[in-house]
Amino acid sequence: MDSLNIRFSGSGGQGLILAARILASALVSEGRNVAQSQSYEPVSRGGLSRSDLVVSDGEADYPLSQSLDYLLILHEAAATESSGLLDEKSVILVDADQVKSQPAAPLNVVSLPFVETARRLGNKRVANIVALGALAQAGSLCDEAALEKSLQAMTPAKFSTLNMEAFQAGRQLMAG
C-alpha cells in the first residue's frame, strides 16, 4: 500500500470521529503510519462532522486528504461535501435511509442500512460501528482481530457486546 485516504462524514453526534480513531488505532498497531484530521461545526449535534485518515506504510507526504479511496457518509448534511475528492476508483458507503443525495455515477456507491441495523440491535447510536464494520469489509483495510481489539479498547466495557455485534452486523451487510 502506497497511501490510502479514508473519510468518515455525517453530522455531529454520530460517533464518526470515534470510528475513525478506532480504525486509526488498529492500523497503527499493524505498523502503518496514520495521520488523522477532523472537522466539525460548532454545534454539538446536527452540524457537519468529518474525520479523515491518511494511511501509509512509509511517511505520509501530506497529512490531509487530497483524494479519497473510501468515503463513508452517514447523514445528508455530508452528502455532497466531498464530491471534489472522488474519482471512479473511490468506494463510497452511504446510509440507505439518511443519505438521499448520493454522489453521481460513474462512482462506486454502496447504500446500506447502517442506522436501521443499529436500531434492530437495540441502539441507533452504534450506527457508526455498523458502518465501521462495513467499511472494514469493503476495503480489507486491516486485520479483523486488530480492529476488534481497538474497538474493545476504545469503547466503554459495558457496551462491548453491543459494539461487537454492531461491527459484525456491518461486515455482514457489506458481505451480503
Per-residue pLDDT of the chain (176 residues), as tens digits, is: 578 999 999 998 899 999 999 999 999 999 999 999 998 775 656 688 999 999 998 887 777 888 999 999 999 989 888 988 999 899 999 999 999 987 665 688 999 999 999 999 999 999 999 999 999 999 889 999 999 999 999 999 999 999 999 999 999 999 98
DSSP 8-state secondary structure symbol assigned to residue 16: H
79 neighbors 73 (Cβ within 8 angstroms) = yes
- Residue 66 has a pLDDT of 87
Compute the distance between CA of residue 52 and CA of residue 141 in angstroms, rounded to an integer.
14
- Residue 149 has a pLDDT of 97
Compute the distance between CA of residue 142 and CA of residue 156 in angstroms, rounded to an integer.
22
- 34 forms bridges with which residues in the sheet? 55
- Residue 44 has a pLDDT of 58
163 neighbors 126 (Cβ within 8 angstroms) = yes
- Residue 108 has a pLDDT of 87
- Residue 104 has a pLDDT of 65
Count structural domains, the chain: 1
Compute the distance between CA of residue 26 and CA of residue 57 in angstroms, rounded to an integer.
14
What domain range is 27 assigned to?
3-175
- Residue 65 has a pLDDT of 84
CATH number (domain holding residue 128): 3.40.920.10
